[in-house]
A and B are shown apart, each in its own frame.
Chain A
Amino acid sequence: MNKLYEKYIKKESLPTLFCPGCGNGIIQRAAMEAIEMNGCKEETACVSGIGCSSWIPCYLQLDVIHTMHGRALPFAEGLKLAQPDKKIMVFTGDGDCVAIGGNHLLHAAARNIDLTVVMVNNNIYGMTGGQKSPTTPLEAKTKTSPYGCIDMPMDACGLVMTLGASYVARWTTAHPVQLTRSIAEGMNHKGFAFIEVLSQCPVQAGKNVWGEKDPAKIMDLYKKYTYMTKTGEVDPAGARSASAIEGKLPIGVFRNDPDAPEYLEKVEAKLAECGIR
């Protein structure tokens, strides 16, 4: 075990329940490195929902709440309001965040509350065995779309940008360096930081979504189907759909606005204005 793992992993909790080649391990490592880069381990707690991706923080030597399917954000908002000076990271999946937790996502983004959200997008419900998710590409045959998916995949980055999230980025597991930097940046950012990571689920999304079972090959496809953008260059706000397979998908930091008013700051300002605090 290297030093990072020594410091961050709860050895008693191993092995992880991730399948071999799953993207979750790459993201877990990026998160550990980002916390280490920021030197903020003592001030960081994690909250996650339910799904394979939501197990990412459960192996970390941090305070962790592993919550309910779709509800990581409201738990995190309560924790943040009780501990305004601390850094709260949220790990969630495409189903967890955009389907069952969609309403919470809208409102957390609109509040621009200071959380760092890592949404692991494997375009599938991994944990329950390969059913269609809100980000499953059109025509993909999954366990619950046996004739091909007819629902337009949703662009979570576009959605939260429309609502006012002030830090928004999309990366893939084939871009671990940029991903790590983004998570670190997001944690230092005051406001709702939303980082989507395209992540391979070779077991449940491999064949049906990517036509590939080999994790390395899926990661190659991530590189092939995405293009790098500079901040502000493209604005997915309002984008209806996002699917790497259906056309080139932008990756990068889409928005980084440190001046957007953050929820807790707005609360404090209002209370000061009214002479309450």
Chain B
Amino acid sequence: MDGKPEKRNEVVLQGNEACAKGALYAGCRFFAGYPITPSTEIIELMSGEMQKAGGAFIQMEDEIGSACAIIGARWGGSKSMTATSGPGYTLMQEAIGFAAVTETPIVIVNVQRGGPSTGQPTLSSQQDIYQARYGSHGDYEIIVLSPSSVQEMYDFTIRAFELAEQFRTPVILLADEVVGHMREKIVIKDGTEEIKSEKHQYVVSPQEDFFKGANSTVEGQLHDDQGRRIGHIASKSGDFIYNINRKIQDNIDSIASIDTYCMEDADVAIVAYGSVARPSLNAVKHARGIKDDRFMSKAKIFRDLFKRGVSETLSSDYGHLKVGLVKINTVWPFPEELLKQATKNVETVIVPEMNIGKYSREVERALRDKKVIPMSKCGGDIHTPTEILDKILEVEGLDEEVK
């Protein structure tokens, strides 16, 4: 680049703060919420900043009320968001189905904690991966983004608003306690982005925002393109269901996003999403003998290796391992084609996730010809790079040598 370097707004933020700032940048002007760990920083920040940005904020009496309020506000013309965790996300489910069926563009943040029930208020998990997809009753498709860094908390929140408006659908930002609470230096933008609200060609019942003289009908019962109920007519209702699902499925090419790392010559791939992509990347770097490491201090690497009784020379010993990473950014709709493409030359796929091994089933379904190894971790701790490295060594048949 010649000329002056672009002005970079570098700030150190917590993931939850970055999410709130991303929303404000994306033009979110209504926030309703109810406090719950580990998402509380988002409502706290919004309670001070939203009104400064000219928007409205309300602390509701519960999470279902919060989800309902943001839907109401969106029909009033304000881009809107709520944020929650665990039990609060469960309480919102009926409203998420309502937003899907009424094609209301809203953003819901779930900073995952451990469950079920009150579970583990302060520890991380990825246990809501399927609830994010199918949490409300009935058949619908939904868009779910999974950030793995503070920068992505910011960027994916903005992207969530874009996708919500483009496809007229609720979009879930499926974060977790680790990315929600960590602090990193990120680049943020000034001002507000103009996100266009499109009436996409697949939108089934394109109702106008209120007070535009359109006499819009926002109807939770299955309805025709005018918003009139058709729930009692089987054939028309069937069409509605197919259409509302197709509008996401048929446009997966413009929704799906993955990142790959060292996949060109890889014969083993780690497929990870959210915060678990971080130790996964780290493990890949170790296996490849790549010294540079943004994600873990040298001291920590050595400590981990030391604990395992392995010498510092490990990276040169195992630096030849052909391992790569596929980081899934849009967990739903499932980026099947992108994943197939990225992994077409690998034999083995390892899927580390902080739950009982849920997403790995979907990966297995998509990659039938490969060996898919789930790497479940429950209890609240994120996988360490060493654990993932161990699994890589095991897959490569090298684990005995290390012991």
Contacts and interface: CB of A to CB of B under 8 A. Distances in A.
Interface of A: 10, 12-13, 42-43, 45, 47, 50, 58, 61-68, 71, 73-83, 86, 103-104, 106-107, 267, 271, 276-277
Interface in B236-284: none
23 contacts: A10-B215, A43-B211, A45-B210, A58-B219, A58-B229, A63-B75, A63-B215, A66-B219, A67-B68, A68-B220, A74-B32, A74-B60, A74-B65, A74-B68, A74-B69, A75-B71, A79-B76, A82-B77, A83-B77, A86-B211, A106-B61, A107-B60, A267-B51
Given A78-B73, A82-B77, A82-B78, A12 B228 contact: yes
A82 B72 contact: yes
A63 B220 contact: no
B58 interface: yes
A63 B214 contact: yes
A43 B211 CA distance: 7
Given A43-B211, A68-B95, A71-B95, A107 B61 contact: yes
A194 to B, nearest CB: 17
Given A43-B211, A78-B72, A63 B216 contact: yes
Chain B interface main SS type: mixed
Among the interface residues A42, A78, A81, which one has the most CB atoms of the partner chain B within 10 A? A78
Contacts of B64: 71, 74
B186 to A, nearest CB: 26
B25 interface: no
Contacts of B60: 74, 77, 107
Pick the 8 closest A-B CB pairs, nearest first.
Answer: A82-B76, A78-B72, A78-B69, A78-B73, A75-B72, A74-B65, A79-B72, A74-B68
Contacts of B347: none
A47 B65 CA distance: 14
B218 A65 contact: yes
Given A47-B72, A82-B73, 18 more contacts: A10-B215, A13-B228, A45-B211, A58-B219, A63-B211, A64-B217, A65-B72, A67-B220, A73-B65, A74-B72, A75-B72, A78-B58, A78-B80, A82-B74, A83-B211, A104-B61, A107-B65, A277-B54
A106 B62 CA distance: 12
A276 B51 contact: yes
A58 B226 contact: no
Given A71-B95, A276-B51, A78 B61 contact: no
B240 to A, nearest CB: 15
B98 interface: yes
Given A12-B228, A43-B211, A79 B65 contact: no
Nearest to B224: A12
Interface string B74-96: 11111010000000000000110
Contacts of A73: 65
B66 interface: yes
Contacts of B68: 67-68, 71, 74-75, 78
A63 B75 CA distance: 9
B263 to A, nearest CB: 44
A137 to B, nearest CB: 29
A107 B216 CA distance: 28
A94 B396 CA distance: 66
Interface string B112-139: 0000000000000000000000000000
A78 B71 contact: yes
A273 to B, nearest CB: 12
B56 interface: yes
Contacts of B226: 12
Nearest to B78: A82
B220 A66 contact: yes
A68 B72 contact: no
A60 to B, nearest CB: 8
B214 to A, nearest CB: 7
B167 interface: no
Nearest to A10: B215
Contacts of A77: 58, 60, 69, 72
Contacts of A63: 75, 210-211, 214-216, 218
Nearest to A50: B220
B215 A61 contact: yes
B52 interface: yes
A50 B51 CA distance: 32
B43 to A, nearest CB: 15
A271 B98 CA distance: 33
B3 interface: no
A104 B68 CA distance: 11
A277 B50 CA distance: 12
A276 B54 CA distance: 9
B56 A79 contact: no
B52 A276 contact: yes
B76 A78 contact: yes
Contacts of B216: 63-64
| B52, B76, B94, B221: residue with the most chain A Cβ atoms closer than 10 Å | B76
B70 interface: yes
Listed residue (B30, B51, B54, B228) with the most chain A CB atoms within 10 angstroms of its CB? B51
A276 B56 CA distance: 12
Contacts of B70: 78
B213 interface: yes
Contacts of B98: 67-68
Contacts of A106: 61
A78 to B, nearest CB: 3
Among B51, B61, B64, find the residue whose CB has the most chain A CB atoms closer than 10 A. Answer: B61
The listed residue with most A CB atoms (<10 A of its CB), out of B52, B72, B215, B221, is B72
A66 B217 contact: yes
Contacts of B58: 77-78, 81
Contacts of B74: 78, 82
Contacts of A68: 68, 94-95, 98, 220
